[in-house]
Structure 1
């Protein structure tokens, strides 16, 4: 057995998906090949939040940086990971990631640090059938690991919140302020920034086969993600740890 396929019970694979994963690994000398499964997008809340989940993930872990052999950025999508057995043994998997909450990212980081080559991208033949029909379920999906991704660091939390506010909330606020005060300059600058922001979101909406009218709503989605991230930090500092699928992970004593 040369490879291990790590996947979730809610992931649907096309008949040739495994063959394509192995082919990619062999052709490019990769030790870990991961594809972000296309999540279900049916309800209103799924349309509003799910494409943005991948959009923000790709900003936190840019795929090009992840795929650079000598780059420090490492990430994977746990729904679909093909792992070379020799690379797993060399990296000490699974012992090396046994306590990790975000185990897919920890796996990619461990493999890359041990000298392995990794690749992360969007999937065409792998889909998640797990439904998240209500806001509460999507909220828990994001907040369970948001603060962990920030290494439980309050300074990184402040920078992230400030960054989300400046990039996604200030432009529409400037437009509204310009209209109310009849000042064309902030209105024009805010509208231009809003248009650029929406334009960067369009490729992800197309990937999810969603209407492009969702692009101007990105500030609203970003506000929800900002609140989810803050909620994740609050839960951590209350000692509640990360809860997911009926399990609660203890609050770590120090940032990893």
Structure 2
């Protein structure tokens, strides 16, 4: 066989493994009960403290914060919004929204600039957890003791009214220490529709949800936008002190919980939505590039392997089909077509989840090429000192000597 045929054979073999032996990552059935189903209710609804780190989120807060204030939850629930040095009036707006909508008590606080060795978000999370463990917010009297559960959620995440109830029911009923849902991201414009489903697809490929949810498994991951965590587990796992420099904080959180002996569950959300808009390709590019190289441990050798792997798995199949058509290489064409068909088929469930046209499935190699470019750019940004940039801050490579 020709060289391109051998590469196509390697790609086809890789897809056979990915479809059947990689935790069925392409399936979208890891979810909490459907909206029409009522969760199995515990005998007593435990107390929940919602911790919301927020930095310059005035644009999205009017859609996200009220969804927490109006939760249909029978147990005690309090919201702690931690203003991480915002310059757009996020803290003041949060107080206005709390006064306007009523409902659950809200504490708005600010810990000041992050201490050396901390990312801003995790410094804010640490402050919020400390308030929750104190038993009450600074703006309210009569706290009922430390919250039994922590809901760590981003400021751009909107929750359906029964969202907390379903999360807690899953944690209590399944004796889980961490329950996390991958929020449904926006797909309102063409770029979002093209990039977002693939973003979640690639995340699931890196961290197959079924493997994460298997007791005792080594794979650990969470989706940072929506994480329900037992407070006692957070203390035992050193959350967030044990990973205070992490840029990919959700995966680091899950690993810390698993190391402490905790049980995890990760799935796709039906009641949790991100309201953050990505109006153009630049915003989406930054979303991926700011953390892609961190996902590869800032290691150039791992980057080279990842680039080669993506090339063989995603780019070689259409190249082999084209070579087969142009040169008459039947083996290359047939093997490339088989691998391409497997690839497209694996993408269909995610497109259905996002209610997108299935015609996008055969175009996955183009999207993969775009993600490959984003990953390389992430490494370039890192070595130019502009690696993990977010909301006006740039974080260096984590220093292992500062680990907790």
Contact 1:240–1:251 (Cα < 8 Å) also in 2: no
Aligned pair partner of 2:380 in 226, 234, 245: 234
SS at match of 2:227: strand
Which residue of the other structure, out of 23, 37, 44, is the alignment partner of 2:190? 44
Larger Rg: 2
From 218, 221, 225, the equivalent of 1:79 is: 225
The answer to whether residue 197 in structure 2 is matched with residue 58 in structure 1 is no
Q: In 2, Cα distance between the equivalents of 1:48 and 1:126?
A: 21
1:213 aligned partner: 359
Which residue of 1 is the match for residue 287 of structure 2? 141
Could you say what secondary structure the match of 1:127 adopts?
Answer: strand
Q: Distance in 2 between matches of 1:157 and 1:254?
A: 20
| 1:114 counterpart residue number | 260
Give the match's secondary structure for 1:240: coil
**TM-superposed deviation, 1:188:** 2.1
Shift of 1:238: 2.2
Please say which of residues 185-194 and 26-35 is displaced more in the overlay.
185-194
Aligned to 1:246: 392
Aligned length: 256
- Judge which range, 181-190 or 241-250, deviates more: 181-190
Alignment match, 2:12:
none
C-alpha change, 1:120 and 1:47, in structure 2 (3 Å) is same
Equivalence for 2:345: 199
Instruction: Please tell me the root mean square deviation across aligned C-alpha atoms, in Å.
Output: 1.4
Q: Which runs of 5+ in 2 are unaligned?
A: 1-146
Q: For each residue in 1:109-154, what CA deviation from the matched residue of structure 2 results, as whole angstroms up to 9, or x when unmatched? A: 1111011111111001101111112111111000111111111112
Partner secondary structure for residue 158 of structure 2: strand
How far did residue 253 of structure 1 move? 4.8
* Cα shift at 1:254: 6.1
Instruction: Quickly say closer, same or farther: Cα 1:21–1:115, change in 2 above 3 A.
Output: same
Extract unaligned runs of 5+ from structure 1: none
Which secondary structure does the structure 2 equivalent of 1:5 belong to? Answer: strand
**1:106 & 1:212 partners in 2: Cα distance?**
34
1:184 to partner: Cα distance:
3.0
Which residue of 2 is the match for residue 151 of structure 1? 297
Q: Is the 8 A contact 1:239 1:251 kept in 2?
A: no
Could you tell me the TM-score, scaled by structure 1's length?
A: 0.96
Deviations 1:138-172 (A, max 9, x none): 11000111111111112211111111100110010
Secondary structure class of the residue paired with 1:151 = coil
Q: Tell me, in whole angstroms, the C-alpha distance in 1 between the residues paired with 2:161 and 2:182.
A: 17
Distance 2:278 2:368 in 1: 18
Aligned twin of 1:103 = 249
**Alpha-carbon distance in 1 for matches of 2:184, 2:211:** 21
Deviates more, 1:46-55 or 1:235-244: 235-244
Counterpart Cα distance in 2 of 1:162 and 1:248: 28
- Alignment partners' CA distance in 2, 1:162 and 1:133: 31
Displacement of 1:239 in angstroms is: 2.6
Q: The residue matched to 1:82 in structure 2 has which SS?
A: strand
Which shows bigger deviation, 215-224 or 229-238?
229-238
Higher relative helix content = 1
Cα distance in 2, alignment partners of residues 67 and 132 from structure 1: 30
Is the CA contact 1:39–1:50 (under 8 Å) kept in the aligned structure 2?
A: yes
